[in-house]
Structure 1
């Protein structure tokens, strides 16, 4: 058995990749991995413009990862301000709702606070096929907060 030059773990003599770190062990495997990485990079750069063409993403999506969403560095100042405002409103509403938990109106407030948080938008993208627009999220927030406030006032 030979050892991996990258992580020094024991591997089979015929192994093309290390089972521990994934490093290619042959020249052919290294070329294959390089081609794969280049194809993935082209696919990502080719798809990155799809978010701004009205295909459901509309404005930039509120997430910081590589699956169709823009990172924080790529957001405009206005979009960063919107995201920060959503965090403030969401967490503030959640805190207020948690202080009112025994009352029935706290639950719509809690849901409203959760709905406005930017990560929820990313989480809805999987089941729905595309993230909800931020206007929809803000509308849900307003409706849930109004229902919660009404329940707190009248019950």
Structure 2
């Protein structure tokens, strides 16, 4: 009975991988494993890419997983989450009527809003539009806070 060259566990003649350590037992299995590892390394290294200049990238609905986005788009999304949730927390701590526009501002800049508005509008909002909505609602909220 043959054994695994890596761990010396007994294997059958038809086994492609060792049941104990997972080492490939045939040349085809070794090539398959090597191709899989190379694909995973490309994904980790950012081989999925993404568009420059603020456009959407990825799947058919205009959205991609975070792993498929370039560094600039990932930074934009993370910043939007921080600013959006931070604005909402500040608005909730104010507790006045001026907090309503601030809550709307925080919601307007959150990245999931792009996906939610894509179907009724026909396409997703560009990030410049999101930032503009945020600025308008935030200015209204701050003005109401100062005036009231």
> TM bucket by the smaller chain?
0.5 to 0.7
Q: Distance in 2 between matches of 1:82 and 1:142?
A: 16
Do 2:105 and 2:134's aligned partners in 1 also have CA atoms closer than 8 Å?
A: yes
Separation in structure 1 between the aligned mates of residue 80 and residue 98 of structure 2, nearest angstrom: 21
Check if 1:122 corresponds to 2:115: yes
CA distance in 1, matches of 2:85, 2:103: 9
Q: Is 2:146 the partner of 1:150?
A: no
Tell whether the 8 Å contact from 2:56 to 2:62 is kept in structure 1 after alignment. Answer: no
Provide the C-alpha distance between the structure 1 equivalents of 2:104 and 2:126, rounded to a whole number of angstroms. Answer: 18
The structure with the larger Rg is: 2
Is contact 1:60-1:75 (8 Å) kept?
no
- 8 Å contact kept, 1:94–1:109: yes
Cα distance change of structure 1 residues 65 and 87 upon mapping to structure 2, 3 Å threshold: farther
Q: Does 1:89 align with 2:83?
A: yes
Cα-Cα RMSD: 2.1
The answer to whether 1:133 aligns with 2:126 is: yes
Q: CA deviation at 1:104?
A: 1.3
TM-score between both structures, scaled by the size of structure 2: 0.60
Q: Is the 8 A contact 2:109 2:130 kept in 1?
A: yes
- Quote how far apart the aligned CAs of 1:65 are: 7.0
Q: How does 1:8-19 map to 2 (within 5 A)?
A: none
Tell me the number of residue pairs that the alignment of Structure 1 and Structure 2 aligns.
Answer: 97
Q: Report the CA distance between 1:69 and its aligned residue.
A: 1.5
Separation (CA, whole Å) in 1 of partners of 2:82 and 2:59: 21
TM-score in terms of structure 1 length: 0.58
- Mapped to 2, the partners of 1:75 and 1:138 lie a distance apart of 19
Q: Which residue in the other structure is 2:71 paired with?
A: 77
1:108 equivalent among 94, 101, 106: 101
2:63 match: secondary structure:
coil
